[in-house]
Amino acid sequence: MTIHREGYKTIIIVFLFEVAFILAFNHVFSVQGWFHYALYILGIWFFVMIVRFFRSPKRTTNGGENVILCPADGKVVVIEKTIEPEYFKEERIQVSIFMSATNVHVNWFPVCGKIIYYYYHPGKHMIAFNPKASLENERATTVIQTSKHQVILIRQIAGALARRIKCYPRVGEPVTQGEELGFIKFGSRVDLLLPIDTKLEISLNQKVVGKQTVIGRL
């Protein structure tokens, strides 16, 4: 387990802020009491939670050529057929994974292939499991074409707390299943738009693990 590079700046800022706040508080209220100890405990807890949020686990990829791996840790909140309006403009199977603030927030590529489309959309910051979040929230859309010309869309969606989506690869680049796609800071969601004949192997409200849980098979 390591700390993700997206967390270094935030962790340093939080640490410096807590130190400055505690020093200022002790300067004003110099006599130590129960409130001071409660403040120390709260500060330590908050700092540990921030560090924990940016954890980046080392996992082996449990996939294969026709396997669609889970791109994120979290819970399956949507499984439905829908008309995808941005890229396909036709019916696809949508699988949505909600990531709470306690989940790992690294995102991984579900299949091997090549990126054929990418677009970042600025937008709102509604709660990520809101059905409108897919179309109205800040989001980044990446489309991958496999070696067999099957096309999968993965959409990173910011939530009510998330304020930064990072997506590293760009159009034309080859990608490997289980390779890091990006990172979303704080509560958020990932949508998969899959071919209509995909054989799903997950169920609604199931807890899933990135790079480990099989979403379905092409």
130 plus 210 within the same structural domain: yes
Residue with tokens 């969601």: 189
Same domain, 210 and 115: yes
Q: Distance from first CA to last CA of the chain, Å, rounded?
A: 31
Contact 182, 167 (CB under 8 A): yes
144 and 167, same domain (yes or no): yes
Amino acid sitting at position 108: W
Q: According to the model, what pLDDT value does residue 154 have?
A: 96
State whether 85 and 126 are in the same domain. Answer: yes
Q: Considering only CA atoms, which of 191, 195, 122, 208 is closest in space to residue 154?
A: 191
pLDDT tens digit at each of 218 positions of the chain: 788 777 788 889 999 999 999 888 888 888 888 888 898 999 999 999 888 888 888 888 877 888 999 999 999 999 999 999 999 999 999 999 998 888 888 999 999 999 999 998 886 766 655 656 666 678 899 999 998 999 999 999 886 655 577 788 889 999 999 999 988 876 688 999 999 999 999 999 999 999 999 999 99
CA atoms of 71 and 108, how far apart (whole Å) = 5
Q: What CATH number did the domain enclosing 197 receive?
A: 2.70.70.10
Enclosing domain of residue 106: 67-217
Active site members: 188
Q: Is residue 62 part of a domain?
A: no
- Give the dihedral sign, CA 22/186/6/205: positive
Q: Are residues 91 and 151 in the same domain?
A: yes
* 48 and 140 part of one domain: no
Is residue 61 in a domain?
A: no
